[in-house]
Amino acid sequence: MSMATEIHWKKCGEEAVQILSELLQIDTTNPPGNERPAAEYLQKFLKKEGIPSEVLEREAGRSNLLARLKGSKPGPKLLLLSHTDVVPATNPKNWKYPPFSGAVKEGYVWGRGALDMKSMTAMEAVTFALFKRMNLDFAGELIFLAVADEEKGGNYGAAWLAEAHRDKVKAEYVINEGGGMPLEANGKVFYTIETIEKGLWWARVKVKGTAGHGSMPHDDNPLVKSARLIDRIAQHKFPKMIAPSLRTFFEKISTALGSQGGKAIQAILADGKEVDLKSLLVGTPINSYMANAFIRTTCSPNMIQAGLKENVIPDACEFVLDCRFVPGFSRKEIEETLQSIAKDLGIEVEIETLQFHDVSESPSNTDLYKIIEETVREELPGADGVPYLMTGATDSRFLREIGSIAYGFQPLSTKMSLAERSKLIHNDNERIDVHSLELGVKLLSKIAMKTLKARA
Ligand SMILES: [Zn+2]
């Protein structure tokens, strides 16, 4: 594509840095969210470009911003998705630059949301503006959507839009967060393209016991019973089940690693074989916790409540499990497993569902997937794309539910490793290197241009 060479990518990157810095200065901490100023900021930016946009709100202040550019020919719709809300910055004193400063210092843009995910909002805004500025002739539609409320489940954002404004947000293709982080294996760089998100089941487990005086301990203290049960649940290894696209991920990395690390990965892939991930994965880009979460269902006990008084044995204890399941596994199977562990210990439990959603997946044999992978190879010589499983969840699931093919691809540079970057998300000193913004705009623009067959 000849026009791509005429684009001044460095300038586009600087523009994205500026937008990101300004977005970070808008406090959209969720709860309560307060996404309207961010939506208005984006609306103003688009207006300056001559692009009309629409604010959609389920509740005043919880704004979603939607804009679209229509091509001259029929073709697919491509939706560039991001969320503008952020999680709280609980320890502002621990930050080198304040969490809502948007400071551009030391080669980074600093602030809550720099990675998750206002940087993507900025990259997508510039990509979107480029289509208009260059007056591109293209097929289909390019849609820009910056939503509210991702961090609290999407009821004022993507989940609501998918229901209440289905026609407006339904698109053949969606690009969102969840992938795009590079991973290095033996010098070879792999760009992750998120195609699957694990299912989620939050369950409250209630263990009953007999109340009594704390000075006279007995055998039916529900807290003690829960402690034994929780320990067993934490130790439990659900069966290994490797999704086909995750197999591709492991195989590509295994090949790059060569004999030593490659063998470790092959051992993970071998059927029916349990392996000690900790010792095995040393020297590979995947740590044992990641690998474990990739290949099996997990249940993490994250909350517990029992007792009201120092000297009273409580009559009940409740704890909450955060279970994430792999494709091919069901909530029923997890529940049966928990019941059988409890039974084995002679403990009776009541299990209540707090939240549930199924595995969300898009196939990796689509045009968009091929275009993303091909663009990575063209723009970053030596690099390759890999399908990726996300252990957490994103808004992509709501759009997949209404028939979109959605991939997580928020392109980032290799300046930070996957592990370093993961540590900064939802944590102190969240930041993104300036170069990632330029790279992101370039990759997303080229992907959008190819997908919509754009011509200058
Ligand atoms: Zn996010």
Beta strands 188-197; 173-176: pairing state = unpaired
Above 70 in pLDDT, residue 2?
Answer: no
For the chain, the domains span 2-194+359-451, 199-357
The Cα 456–Cα 445 span in angstroms is 13
Question: Residues 54-58: what's their mean pLDDT?
Answer: 98
Share of the chain above pLDDT 90, in %: 87
- DSSP-based three-state secondary structure for 413: coil
Q: Which parts of 7-94 fold into alpha helices (H)?
A: 9-24, 36-48
| pLDDT tens digits, 164-174 | 999 999 999 99
Q: Output the CA 393–ligand 1 centroid distance in Å.
A: 9
Q: No. of H helices and E strands in the chain? A: 15, 19
Confidence of residue 144 (pLDDT cuts 50, 70, 90): very high
Q: What's residue 5's pLDDT?
A: 52
Q: Output the CA 272–ligand 1 centroid distance in Å.
A: 35
Helices 434-451 and 118-133, axial angle in degrees (round to 10): 50
Q: Output the CA 211–ligand 1 centroid distance in Å.
A: 44
Q: Output the CA 337–ligand 1 centroid distance in Å.
A: 31
Q: Output the CA 432–ligand 1 centroid distance in Å.
A: 14
| pLDDT tens digits, 340-349 | 999 999 999 9
Above 80 in pLDDT, residue 63?
Answer: yes
Q: What's residue 137's pLDDT?
A: 97
CATH of the structural domain 199-357, one choice from 1.10.287.130, 3.30.2350.10, 3.90.1170.50, 3.30.70.360: 3.30.70.360
Confidence of residue 282 (pLDDT cuts 50, 70, 90): confident
The Cα 433–Cα 439 span in angstroms is 10
Q: Output the CA 325–ligand 1 centroid distance in Å.
A: 20
The most confident of 117-126, 251-260, 410-419, by mean pLDDT: 117-126
Confidence of residue 418 (pLDDT cuts 50, 70, 90): confident
Q: Output the CA 228–ligand 1 centroid distance in Å.
A: 35
Question: Residues 375-382: what's their mean pLDDT?
Answer: 97
Q: Output the CA 117–ligand 1 centroid distance in Å.
A: 5
Above 70 in pLDDT, residue 31?
Answer: yes
Q: Output the CA 421–ligand 1 centroid distance in Å.
A: 13
Q: What is the mean pLDDT of the chain?
A: 95
pTM: 0.94
Q: Output the CA 115–ligand 1 centroid distance in Å.
A: 8
Confidence of residue 446 (pLDDT cuts 50, 70, 90): very high
Above 80 in pLDDT, residue 363?
Answer: yes
Closest by CA to 437, choosing from 1, 87, 41, 124, is: 124
Above 90 in pLDDT, residue 101?
Answer: yes
Min mean pLDDT across 8-22, 256-270, 420-434 is at 256-270
- DSSP-based three-state secondary structure for 221: coil
Q: What's residue 275's pLDDT?
A: 78
Q: What's residue 293's pLDDT?
A: 94
Question: Residues 160-182: what's their mean pLDDT?
Answer: 97
Above 60 in pLDDT, residue 368?
Answer: yes
Closest by CA to 80, choosing from 8, 18, 135, 140, is: 140
Question: Residues 114-136: what's their mean pLDDT?
Answer: 97
Q: Output the CA 177–ligand 1 centroid distance in Å.
A: 6
- Check whether the bond before 31 is cis (ω within 30° of 0): yes
Beta strands 312-313; 182-185: pairing state = unpaired
Question: Residues 139-164: what's their mean pLDDT?
Answer: 97
Q: Output the CA 431–ligand 1 centroid distance in Å.
A: 14
Q: Output the CA 405–ligand 1 centroid distance in Å.
A: 18
Q: Output the CA 83–ligand 1 centroid distance in Å.
A: 7
Please name the fold of domain 2-194+359-451: Aminopeptidase (3.40.630)
Confidence of residue 3 (pLDDT cuts 50, 70, 90): low
Q: Output the CA 150–ligand 1 centroid distance in Å.
A: 7
Helical (H) or strand (E) element with 302: strand 298-306
